[in-house]
Amino acid sequence: MPHSAKSETARQCPESIILIDGVCNLCNAYVQFVVRRDPGKRIRFAQLQSVTGQSLSIDHGIEGLESMVLIKNGKAYRKSIAAIRIAGLLRFPWPLVWLFWLVPWPVRDWCYDFIGNRRYKWFGKKSQCWLPDENLAERFLE
């Protein structure tokens, strides 16, 4: 497939997708957090380790599991920018997180990386990808 071509997965995806590390307990808790605050079910999810997650990662030039990723309208956002944009999709008061745009991105991303680099140590890690229950399964692309 040419580099500029999008996979079939990318063309069929909904408007907002969050790619997460499927073995990370913090990431899985974040999915639960987002689901409870997205009653319109506008946000979907894919695990970076899944075939769909890997396809989307390739399509958007994402390498490794260093960051949660938001794909919105065909564009990928990482780290603090992803977190702020995701908050903007949730019900009130979470869109107020947009105020963090006032903090310079290097500072925001440093904080994001500080937590992200310690997430397994602080929150633990599963031996295999977490499987969503039947209520959440419809929100996952795979």
Query: Is 50 exceeded by the pLDDT of residue 136?
Result: yes
In a domain, 142, yes or no: no
> Between residues 115 and 9, which one has the greater pLDDT?
115
- For the whole model, what pTM was predicted? 0.82
pLDDT of residue 71: 92
Q: What is the pLDDT of residue 66?
A: 67
Q: Is 88 part of any domain?
A: yes
Our count of domains for the chain comes to: 1
For residue 122, what pLDDT is reported? 93
User: In the chain, where does DSSP find H-type helix?
Assistant: 8-12, 25-36, 51-59, 79-89, 105-116, 119-123, 134-137
In a domain, 1, yes or no: no
Query: Quick one: pLDDT band at residue 89, thresholds 50, 70, 90?
Result: very high
Domain that holds residue 33: 8-137
